[in-house]
Structure 1
Amino acid sequence: MLLLNCPWCGPRDETEYHYGGQAHIPFPETPGDLTDEQWAEYVFYRDNPKGPFAERWVHSTGCRRWFNVVRDTVTYEVLAVYRLDEPRPEIPGPPGPNDLRQSADPAGGNR
């Protein structure tokens, strides 16, 4: 179980909350101009990273307010909790593929 720290009510068990999907997805500026494929991408396609991920949660059995959580999708560790009117905190993520200096190739070659 996760222990989420509601910005208004304090720490509560995960069962008091409902998951709301990926955070920071802006509504299209001109929705009438979107094609069906663009609408499908907006509604259904979301990131699925390995590591820190910004999510929206609602405290459904408490204050009923929405807030954001940065959670590590590998360890389930909650890295940050912040209100919707606050900026996303800087959380260092895992190194990208271009950050690797040594190859795992036993022959010593670079990938």
Structure 2
Amino acid sequence: MLRLRCPWCGERDETEFRYGGQPVTYPADPAALTDAEWAEVLFVRDNPCGWWRERWVHAAGCRRWFELWRNTETDEVA
């Protein structure tokens, strides 16, 4: 089990959190994108091996969103 550190509540078990995925940067002019480009923005994510930036929400605690770095090979959290 992962132990995650909420910036507001401190370290807790992974079961208190929900994974929010990769941070997404939305386009400045969304009307200019084609359907295929929108599909890329909304559904395609990286799948790295190694250190990775993720979003999490402390669902069973303060309910705030935060970002952390996690190694996808070892589950080490920084």
* TM-score of the two chains, using structure 1 as the length reference: 0.69
- How far the C-alpha of 1:8 sits from its partner, in A, is 0.2
Q: Percent identity?
A: 60
Q: CA deviation at 1:28?
A: 1.0
Distance 1:18 1:60 in 2: 6
Question: How many residues matched?
Answer: 78
Determine the structure 2 residue equivalent to 1:71.
Answer: 70
Which portions of structure 1, spanning 4 or more consecutive aligned residues, are displaced by more than 2 angstroms? none
Equivalent positions of 1:1-111 (< 5 A) are 1-23=1-23, 25-79=24-78
Unaligned runs of 5+ in 2: none
- The structure whose Rg is larger is 1
Higher RCO (Cα < 8 Å, 6 or more apart): 2
Looking at structure 1, the residues matched to 29 and 13 of structure 2 have their Cα atoms a distance apart, in angstroms, of 39
Give the TM-score normalised by structure 2.
Answer: 0.96
Measured against aligned partners, the alpha-carbon deviations of 1:30-63 in whole angstroms (never above 9, x if no partner) come to 1111101110000111111100000000000100
| Structure 1 residue ranges without an equivalent (≥5) | 80-111
